A and B are shown apart, each in its own frame.
Chain A
Amino acid sequence: DSGVTQTPKHLITATGQRVTLRCSPRSGDLSVYWYQQSLDQGLQFLIHYYNGEERAKGNILERFSAQQFPDLHSELNLSSLELGDSALYFCASSEGGIGGTEAFFGQGTRLTVV
């Protein structure tokens, strides 16, 4: 158990809909990262938050957005869903300190768009 909790574990929704994925980081971790893993793309970095502020964006679509709340949990919002958005979505957290620290991943949310 990494200590990172993602909910829900599975989600099935229709095209055009909007969903919210939730991530609770390990206690004390200030950084939260979101990743998307589809069969043909591998693990793609989407976005990074540090202590409530957006720090870096990767290959995140404009239809996707995220935020990190004062209690440090994070949500990834996916809207106008398309079939191609079907993927595993992982959240990771790390201390975010200046040293070389590891990131811990949750078990992911499997999103299926039908």
Chain B
Amino acid sequence: DAKTTQPPSMDCAEGRAANLPCNHSTISGNEYVYWYRQIHSQGPQYIIHGLKNNETNEMASLIITEDRKSSTLILPHATLRDTAVYYCIVRGKWNSGNTPLVFGKGTRLSVIA
């Protein structure tokens, strides 16, 4: 699976949009981009994933560049409860099941009141 590069930490003011970048320049054509977050020692929580089109759900939006070498996770109105470590993961798939998620160090997002 392709490696990802994320900034180690970011701050965001409460109520503002949080834009978390991720570089994955070695991504291959059948690999998905996944985002998870972990709030203080809880189990990682799935946020969103995409292949090449932008995606949006109730939690966030995922913007993937046309060349797929980078992506941005957008939390539209960050709250204090969004303070967490955010992981960007590139993940391939097998014919009979998904490959494991390999976590890097992620970005520690601090939402400030």
Do A and B make up one complex?
yes
A residues engaging B (CB < 8 A)? 2, 4, 30-31, 33, 35, 37, 42-45, 48, 50, 55-56, 58, 88, 90, 92, 94, 96-108
- Is the Cβ of B41 less than 8 Å from the Cβ of A96? no
The CA-CA distance from A3 to B34 in the complex, in Å, is 20
Q: Give the Cβ gap from A87 to chain B, nearest Cβ, in Å.
A: 11
B residues engaging A (CB < 8 A)? 32, 34, 38, 41-46, 49, 51, 87, 91, 93-105
Give every chain A residue within 8 A of B95 (Cβ-Cβ). Answer: 98
- Is the Cβ of A48 less than 8 Å from the Cβ of B51? no
Q: Give the Cβ gap from B41 to chain A, nearest Cβ, in Å.
A: 6
Give every chain B residue within 8 A of A104 (Cβ-Cβ). Answer: 46
Give every chain B residue within 8 A of A106 (Cβ-Cβ). Answer: 43
The CA-CA distance from A93 to B42 in the complex, in Å, is 16
Give every chain B residue within 8 A of A103 (Cβ-Cβ). Answer: 46, 98, 101
5 tightest A-B CB contacts, nearest first: A105-B43, A96-B97, A43-B103, A100-B32, A102-B46
